[in-house]
Structure 1
Amino acid sequence: MPDDLAAVYDKLGFDLPRVNGGHPQTLPLPATYVIDQTGTIRWAFTDTDHTKRAGPADIITALDTLH
């Protein structure tokens, strides 16, 4: 993340270096994956907006394509 955003997290009291294993300017992204039996990712959803998540219908559709 940019320095100015990292500064906001610092001011809010978040200890990003501690929770990120020494990488102070990174945040995790929520993600959903559908992986087949061979370990190949067949469908993925991620968004930088942590409030957006994969919809159940989308996940079921992705699972249905595995058959």
Structure 2
Amino acid sequence: MPDFVATLIAALALCLGLIALNALTRWTMPLWPIAVDENGLLQVGGAVLIARLAWRRAVRPMPRSTT
């Protein structure tokens, strides 16, 4: 896969991951014993991890057929 397409996929994964983690944080805020903020380290770190996994999966070389 071209690097440009892989970059777009990783950027999309970052944005969607951050949105999903922020929604999850907002939904579970009343359950946390400590104060947590949206766009905190947990959410941004999780979104970066999701984007990194998407990037690695997108640029992974395809195995060649031996037949």
Superposition TM-score, scaled by structure 2 size: 0.22
Give 1 or 2: higher strand fraction.
Answer: 1
Superposition TM-score, scaled by structure 1 size: 0.22
Structure with more relative contact order (C-alpha pairs < 8 Å, separation 6 or more): 2
